[in-house]
Copies of this chain bind each other. A is one copy, B any other.
């Protein structure tokens, strides 16, 4: 019944199935059996493509890290105003989470026996890069007189991340990834308006 697929396609199928299931039941409850079921495979077949479950999670982490890094790199290569760049970084990240709604929980997934340390480290360092980009753009915005100078640029980044976290939390409760986008833009503008020089507010 199962269409035999090439190894690389199967690997992608497995990662994709893992992400889907992780969102549905929570990353720690994903079993190799669930993955196999969804792909109409037998459970041991998974082990033809990944040597262990940890290996799957490592690949998932690599995949998600890459996506986060892509976002940062892409935006860095553009030459807009710093506040526009901030906007773009955040909205792109929200889209990434919408498309991979398991990301937040995977990021926090705890290791059995320390094996997931790599997973967290990988994603968290990409998130660190995103934060660094936000800080850099905030600093530029301050320098150009767009943002108030009396706020620490790290705190600006933290508040911006706060929007993301707040949206993510509500998404996890409502189970509706689309709301990230529909509410994100408005809240982001609102937050940014708090950083604007008084004269620029409106």
> What per-residue 1/0 map shows which CB atoms of A101-128 lie under 8 Å from chain B?
0000100111010000000100010000
Given contacts A105-B108, A110-B25, A165-B168, contact A151 B190 (CB under 8 A): yes
Residues on B with C-beta less than 8 A from A201 are 198
Give Cα A168 to B120, complex, Å: 16
Interface stretch, picked from A4-12, A69-77, A138-146, A153-161, is A153-161
- Could you say which of B29, B155, B162 contacts A165, with CB atoms under 8 Å apart? B162
Give Cα A165 to B29, complex, Å: 24
Residues on B with C-beta less than 8 A from A124 are 173
CB contacts under 8 Å to B, within A85-105, are 105
Q: Is A80 engaged at the interface, CB distance under 8 Å to the other chain?
A: no
Q: How far is the CB of A11 from chain B (nearest CB, A)?
A: 18
Residues on B with C-beta less than 8 A from A173 are 108, 120, 124
Copies in the complex: 4
Q: Is A132 engaged at the interface, CB distance under 8 Å to the other chain?
A: no
> What per-residue 1/0 map shows which CB atoms of A1-42 lie under 8 Å from chain B?
000000000000000000000000110110000000000000
B165–A158 CB distance below 8 A: no
Residues on B with C-beta less than 8 A from A195 are 194
Q: How far is the CB of A97 from chain B (nearest CB, A)?
A: 13
Q: Is A81 engaged at the interface, CB distance under 8 Å to the other chain?
A: no
CB contacts under 8 Å to B, within A167-196, are 167-170, 172-173, 183, 186-187, 190-191, 193-195
13 further contact pairs, Cβ within 8 A, besides A159-B159, A159-B163, A161-B169: A25-B112, A26-B108, A26-B110, A108-B169, A155-B186, A155-B187, A155-B190, A158-B167, A158-B187, A159-B191, A161-B166, A162-B191, A165-B168
Ranked 5 nearest A-B pairs via Cβ: A194-B194, A162-B162, A165-B165, A162-B166, A26-B110
